[in-house]
Structure 1
Amino acid sequence: MTDSPRRLRPLGLALCLSLALPATVLPGLGGAAASPEPETAETTHNSVQKQDRAPRPARVSDERAIASLVRRMSLEQKVGQLFVQHFYGASATTPDQRNVPLYGVATPAEVIAKYHLGGVIYFGWSGNLTDPQQIAGLSNGLQRAAIGSGEPIPLQVATDQEQGPVIRFGAPATQLPGAMALGAGRSTGDSRRAAAITGSELKAVGIGVDYAPDADVNVNPANPVIGVRSFSSRPNLVSSMVAAQVKGFQNDAQVTATAKHFPGHGDTAVDSHTGLPVITHTRAQWRELDEPPFRAAIKAGVDQIMTAHLVVPALDSSGEPATLSRTILTDVLRKDLKFRGVVVTDSLAMEGVRTKYGDGEVAVRAIEAGADQLLMTPAMDAAYTAVLGAVRSGRISTERLDASVTRILQLKWKRGLFAQPYVDPARIDDVVGTPAHRAQADAIAERGMTLLTDEAGVVPFALAGRKVAVVGYGATATKTLAQEFTARGATATALETGSAPTPALIEQAVANATEADLAVVTTMNASTEANKSQRDLVAALQRTGTKVAVVAVRNPYDINALPGVGTYLAAYSYNAVSVRAAARVLLGEARATGRLPVDIPTADGAGVLYRFGAGAR
């Protein structure tokens, strides 16, 4: 059951009364009493506007209102604004016992009230993202809880909707290609359109913050955590795409964008979820490779920047991860790059930031370093108590705390949360997954497809009356391809063999291919040692004598580990929109106009097999 928005308190009027503001401060905060009904969700049917609608800078009266609110807040309320936490459950007021070990209370509303949280983050695995109506009801219920817990301050609701392989808000929401596919398409217009569509659909269900775009420059093909989440290995291409997405999210959809992961996660060989990476770039290399996309994001007006849990000795020789480094967050990001927005940490549950300190100390040190928001601490009581204690003892000054709280509240004000915290569920179908959005997504996906070789002469493949064996990684990928082929008159089978196919699955795939006119195999990071058996699968299929087409549905580097492959298409994602586009390319219904946004090294790493820009067939 979701929470009905009909009984929600009108925030505009409540804040106006609490601050005794003049009627001219902001629409919805003064003058006539605000309606008790939820405001209509702002929609974006034409995803990119002809004129940029740059966010309105705060007026003097706005600044005074925020300053007055900060003075009225208790210490507990101020500290609570620094935290963005996950929780379990689909409704704000329905108990979920999984919350109790984390927070000592069972309902999401109680979590918010207990800590005066400044923000929450939604995930599918925590039961927050079932369907659009449920999500909107959850968002409205959480806003009511936040507004009712002390000073009437609305909540930031966030998620990671990068698109491509990182999608939290699934169907019927529009799926779009991810960053590297957009980089392959080379269109800043497509990049902006993708962000505008994504942002407008998030906003329609009450999610006002997206932890995207990824501003990392993926110069390391072996990067275990970024890869296709990056637009490119070239900083100028990443910069232009990041700036476009910031404008799409913020100017077109009025949703907060977050450039990540500062100071740059593109040259790591260690996953910061499980360890602490060290970036060995010199300061000059950092300025040339890693810094430009963040400068571009700041120039475009990005609301937030997310920190990275990694060590960059050239920027800070102390050995502290960037999230805990005052040198990096304050001296470099604030002073050198002149970033004035909100700094949010990456998840504090990741091992990269927990290698030296306990969770309470990590929270305090992140604030001391210059972070404003603490994302997903795994020990809320310890972290909350530690920050309260640090302020009371003077370790964190009141001025330092107020600076972060002020930035957070100013961002909420700028994004309209004080005037319009609730969404209207009746408007969701006008925005989420519309035919217009899906058509744009299909066109964008086609423009990113990169056909590196077709020496086998597969493209275009006439399907009528033919047999096709689809095998490889991804239940969605294999099923979608088989469905696309079947719809065009082929007899198609689908066999999902996973990232590490067993000998039995390889034997079954070979049997399927032997009976077929074409074998299409989807690979996912087959160039890595952990996925070596994917290479065995492709080699076994090649030995059948049946024509074989490889579709790489994650990183494009797989071809360097697949000698003799005659047809190779980089799709950059295993989500349905990208896989459908791959099918259209194989069938000759669409041209693969994408160009590699990275270099693909030779298998031994000594040379380049395919250079940046290859493709566009």
Structure 2
Amino acid sequence: MTTTREWDNWSLKKKVGQLFVFGFHGFEPTAQIKQLIETSGIGGTIYFSRNVKDAKQVHKLSGELQSIARKAGNPPLFVAIDQEGGMVARLVDGVTLMPGNMALGATGDKESARETAFVCGEELRQLGVTMNYAPCIDVNNNPDNPVINVRSYSDRSDVVAELGAAAVAGYQAARVAATVKHFPGHGDTAVDSHHALPILLHGRDRLDAIELKPFRAAIEAGTDCIMTAHVCLPALDPSGVPSTLSEPVITGLLRKELGYDGIVVTDCLEMDAIDKTYGPEQGAIKALQAGADMVLISHTFDKQWAALEAVVRAVENGELAEARINEALNRIMTLKEKLVLEEPLLPWSQVEWEIGTEVNRAVAIKWSEASVTLVKDEGPLLPLSREKSTLVLWPKIVPVSVADEMLSGDGSLGHFLGEYGANIVERQMDDDHPFADLETFSQIVVVTYDASKHPVERDIAREVVKLAPERTIAVSVRNPLDLLLYPEVKTYMAVYECRPLALAAAARVLLGDLKPQGKLPLEISAAYPFGWSAAVHS
């Protein structure tokens, strides 16, 4: 006997609305997002940095959005965010920012992924965020990948599988839906799907051995959600359709073969791989036809509204089966019953003491410190002398989102070295940087962010290493492959992000106050393979 559920009797428009997650601009609900919640009954919204000031403001925003839905007689929203940790974090102020995936991979301990995800999830939950678009479980096996890189745990699929499954368990123990991404794999691409359509030409055997292994583990771990990739894999669908729009990939592989019955959410349909080819309207229809349950459109109201209307018309004219809408809606509402229907957001006065606590911060510090990797020290130049004059050179090329934090004087490597008693002068690299006074410094620390993509950063690092080889230490604060750009450097340390806790840990290692514990989570070269640490092998 089939039980009739409340949502079975909803109008088509209300059913369709629940299948969409929309972003908006601003720190408060806009008239447009209010309209989408009230009149279209959308299923969720997503926060970006443009929506976030600090923890208290996010808590207030979440409450306001849910109030709009409730007063309109609609179900509570999923509130989503990309809070991966490390370099990909929308919410920084007032919360405990956890290390990113590659830093966790460098710890060599799956507990790092579970514990950091649990603490992050608990804080998100207190702020009304119930769906995290994390962890990223792409395998970072292409050094030219412009979009994954340190967002991956490793270049080894078994490591990614183990840590990814642990993170899923952590988030969901905190009652936040984990969303593993980007199915069926975005790690081995040299094209960013934000700007074009990547094509991955590997055969099925290779995909099973590498790309799909972490997703199998996440499914086994019970992940609530899986996000699709705008990547074309001819071995899975020879039509050339991106995986987000591919029935053989979503329904054939993910649903039928891998046995996944949770929510499938698309990556944003405003990314150029979809927007410049199919457009969000046809993209939404095709994604739902392929087997996706929720459609993400992050930015533009007109495109969001048009996609909603297009899906309703597609059902009315028979292009898209209503049974497919009902199937997706059932998955969405089942998860909402588990996570959001019966748990209203608590007042700020009751939750503020549980966010950004010293206990939570201790977790982040512990795993940040465990990730710092000494790759080579042939001088040896470590530990740095606190008394000797030390020049710290920072790259000019850093993300806008972290530049102020990193270079403000209280979030840089030089700041932390100075805090720990070193005699520091800190400068920012640029095209006009003079090297005439290098001889006045007894010790030089060159910091690079992603030297392969930024010629100025690469060239200055090379020049300093050439001019002062016996006094220069290099520290990468994102891409550990930077060593390949200045291999002559005698001492090289990999820190996988330029967030304050990582830089504080790096400063302690440089000064000898902390033993480097991390091991390379990927191969840099034959001389520096996966699992390498100069602290162990020297």
TM over 0.5: yes
> 1:191 matched to which residue of 2?
113
Q: Does 1:117 align with 2:117?
A: no
Taking structure 1 as the reference length, the TM-score comes to 0.82
User: Partner residue of 1:359?
Assistant: 280
Pairing of 1:401-550 with structure 2 (within 5 A): 401-415=325-339, 417-464=340-387, 466-473=389-396, 474=398, 475=403, 476-477=405-406, 479=409, 480-497=412-429, 501-502=430-431, 504-505=432-433, 507=434, 510-511=435-436, 513-526=438-451, 528=452, 530-545=453-468, 547-550=471-474
Question: CA separation of 1:405/1:411 partners in 2, compared to 1, >3 Å: closer, same or farther?
Answer: same
> Is the CA contact 1:584–1:590 (under 8 Å) kept in the aligned structure 2?
yes
Which residue does 1:612 correspond to in 2? Answer: 530
User: Deviation string for 1:550-580 (max 9, x for gaps)?
Assistant: 1111111111111311111110111111111
Could you say what the CA RMSD is over the residues aligned between the two structures, in angstroms? 1.8
1:3-22 to structure 2, matched below 5 A, reads none
Shift of 1:430: 2.1
Instruction: Provide the rounded CA distance (Å) in 1 between the counterparts of 2:366 and 2:448.
Output: 23
1:522 Cα shift? 1.4
Deviation at 1:422, TM superposition (A): 1.9
Q: How far apart are the structure 2 equivalents of 1:394 and 1:121?
A: 30
Question: What is the count of residue pairs matched by the alignment?
Answer: 522
Structure 1, unmatched stretches of 5+, are 1-59, 96-105, 602-607
Counterpart pick for 1:129 among 52, 68, 76: 52
Please identify, of 352-361 and 267-276, the stretch whose mean Cα deviation from structure 2 is larger. 352-361
**Partners of 1:292 and 1:170 in 2: how far apart?**
31
The 1:211–1:512 alpha-carbon spacing in structure 2 relative to 1, beyond 3 Å, is: farther
Aligned to 1:201, the other structure's residue is in SS state: helix
1:560 aligns with 2:484: yes
Tell me the distance in 2 between the aligned counterparts of 1:74 and 1:424.
Answer: 33
Q: Residue in 2 aligned with 1:177?
A: 99
Rounded Cα–Cα distance in structure 2 between residues aligned with 1:316 and 1:511? 58
Aligned equivalent of 1:88: 25
1:57-96 alignment to 2 at 5 Å?
Answer: 64=3, 67-92=4-29, 95=30
Residue pairs, 1:320-399, within 5 angstroms? 320-376=241-297, 378=300, 379-399=303-323
Q: Which amino acid aligns with 2:6?
A: L
Q: CA deviation at 1:543?
A: 4.0
Distance 1:134 1:110 in 2: 21
- TM-score computed with the length of structure 2 as normaliser: 0.93
The aligned amino acid for 1:316 is: D
Candidates 75, 83, 86, aligned match of 1:161 = 83
Q: Determine helix, strand or coil for the equivalent of 1:295.
A: helix
After TM superposition, give the deviation of residue 466 of structure 1 in Å.
Answer: 3.7
Structure 1 residues 609 and 276: alpha-carbon distance in aligned structure 2, compared to 1, 3 A threshold: farther
Letter of the structure 2 residue corresponding to residue 85 of structure 1: F
Amino acid at match of 2:156: R
Offset of residue 419 of structure 1: 0.5
Q: 1:592 aligns with which of 505, 516, 531?
A: 516
1:564-579 matches, within 5 Å, as 564-579=488-503
- Note the C-alpha offset of 1:457: 1.8
Distance 1:401 1:190, change over 3 A: same
Structure 1 equivalent of residue 123 of structure 2: 201
Tell me: CA distance 1:543–1:616, structure 2 relative to 1, closer, same or farther (3 Å): closer
CA contact 2:155–2:522 (8 Å) conserved in 1: yes
Give the CA deviation at 1:431.
2.0
% same residue = 39
TM-superposed CA distance for 1:482, in Å, is: 1.5
Q: Please give the alpha-carbon distance, in whole angstroms, between the structure 2 residues aligned to 1:465 and 1:397.
A: 73
The answer (yes or no) to whether the contact 1:123–1:159 under 8 Å persists in 2 is yes
C-alpha distance in 1, partners of 2:55/2:281?
A: 36
Deviation at 1:513, TM superposition (A): 3.9
